[in-house]
Amino acid sequence: MRDRSPDLVAAVLGEPARLLQLGLPEWDLLVRQARSADLLARIAALLDKRALLGRVPAGPRAALNAAQILASAQQDEVRREVAHVSNALRSLSVPVVLLKGAAYLMAGLPSALGRTFTDVDVLVPRGRLAEVEAALMLAGWAMTPHSEYDQSYYRTWMHELPPMQHVRRQTILDVHHAILPGTARLKPESSRLFSAAQPIPGLAGVHVLASADMVLHSMSHLFHNDDLSHGLRDLSDIDLLLRHFGTNAGFWEQLVERAKDLDLLRPLYYGMHQAQRVLRTPVPAVTLQSSRTFAAPWPLRSAMDWLWSHALRPPHPSTAGPLSAISSFALYVRAHWLRMPPALLARHLLIKAAARH
């Protein structure tokens, strides 16, 4: 049984100055791990911010610079795409809330540092969903190909429409009406998110979530997700959000109270605990200790710590241990279990299994 290589990405995200102690073989491994986790540009940005990029050896520095150029181009594209969405929906006077990466970018948050993108996520009121979809289609977005069952599944059970792709620009837009499916065990009310959302100056009708809500959405997204290929990147987002907002007076108390209001105490526990464990996020000791009351009972809590310790790594062969596949499958099953009641889940899995044959 071989030993896995160390997770250099998490180590340097938690303490960027450690990069200056790496030899060339370690740099080579770090670049490969970070690229697999979509975090190479973030590492470059963190070094650049600390005026340390010039001290990196030439070979890895070239890879870091290339990653920065790509991330910058993607961010410019997202800014343009947000403006297109704003223009397409302006006549509806509907509140549009940016989620995840697009929100970090447009709000100018540190979590946008080196952030890469595959799509833009927005949240709109469920009662306006049909109007929004029609307006977006008139502006050039079309539904990506899905089976009749998948279309029905999205529209009946999920918290979002099937992904939409612009016919000319080929950009992907995910339109949500909630941050978790209506069939999920946890049920944060979207109306509470809209009522606290903050407008983005210069973009009519476009908002971002309030600071505590933004953190809680990032946590609920990561710790309910069945695809953890970007798990470490999402945890890095949480780390940077907590480091930024955590300096505001009363933030930690507000975060806990808001998690109670939105029924998101368990994701809050996982988010704070794993960010502190993996990335050394400075969570106040009293807050971290009190959050244990939101955790699962001891045997399950210990098992989940083991599963997350495997999942929150770069998806690179060097960090995969002999039990990584088991932990990934277990978290995949858990995500579906949290998303749907047993009867609906069994029906869904049977239909999807039949479709493969």
- Tens digit of pLDDT at every position of the chain (357 positions): 344 568 899 999 988 888 888 999 999 999 999 999 999 999 999 999 989 899 999 999 999 999 999 999 999 999 999 999 999 999 999 999 999 999 999 999 999 999 999 999 999 999 999 999 999 999 999 998 777 888 878 888 889 999 999 999 999 999 999 999 988 999 999 999 999 999 999 888 999 999 999 999 999 999 999 899 999 999 999 999 999 999 999 999 999 999 999 999 999 999 999 999 999 999 999 999 888 899 988 889 999 999 999 999 999 999 988 888 899 999 999 998 998 888 887 887 787 677 666
Specify the pairing of strand 198-199 against strand 96-99.
unpaired
Instruction: Answer whether 241's CB lies under 8 Å from 208's CB.
Output: no
For 161, the enclosing helix (H) or strand (E) is none
At 181 the pLDDT is 92
CATH code where residue 201 lies? 3.30.460.40
- Number of alpha carbons in the 13 Å side-chain half-sphere of residue 167: 8
Task: Please give the tally of structural domains in the chain.
Answer: 1
Exposed e or buried b per residue across 129-145, where buried means at least 16 C-beta atoms within 10 angstroms of its C-beta = beebbebbeeeebeeee
CA–CA separation, 207 and 332 (whole Å)? 32
User: Does some domain include residue 3?
Assistant: no
Task: Of 266, 263, 207, 210, give the one whose Cα is nearest residue 241.
Answer: 210
User: Does some domain include residue 316?
Assistant: yes
User: Does some domain include residue 59?
Assistant: yes
Instruction: Answer whether 78's CB lies under 8 Å from 100's CB.
Output: no
At 2 the pLDDT is 43
Structure tokens at 204: 């009519």
User: Does some domain include residue 2?
Assistant: no
- Which one-letter DSSP state was computed for residue 291? G
Instruction: Answer whether 200's CB lies under 8 Å from 207's CB.
Output: yes
User: Does some domain include residue 252?
Assistant: yes
Taken in order 88, 94, 95, 98, the sign of the CA dihedral is negative
Domain carrying residue 63: 8-355
Coil, helix or strand at residue 332:
helix
CA–CA separation, 17 and 10 (whole Å)? 13
Residues linked to residue 208 through DSSP beta bridges, in sequence order: 98, 198
What are phi and psi for residue 99, nearest 5 degrees? -120, 155
pTM here? 0.94
**DSSP-assigned states of every residue in 38-54:** T-HHHHHHHHHHTT-GG
User: Does some domain include residue 288?
Assistant: yes
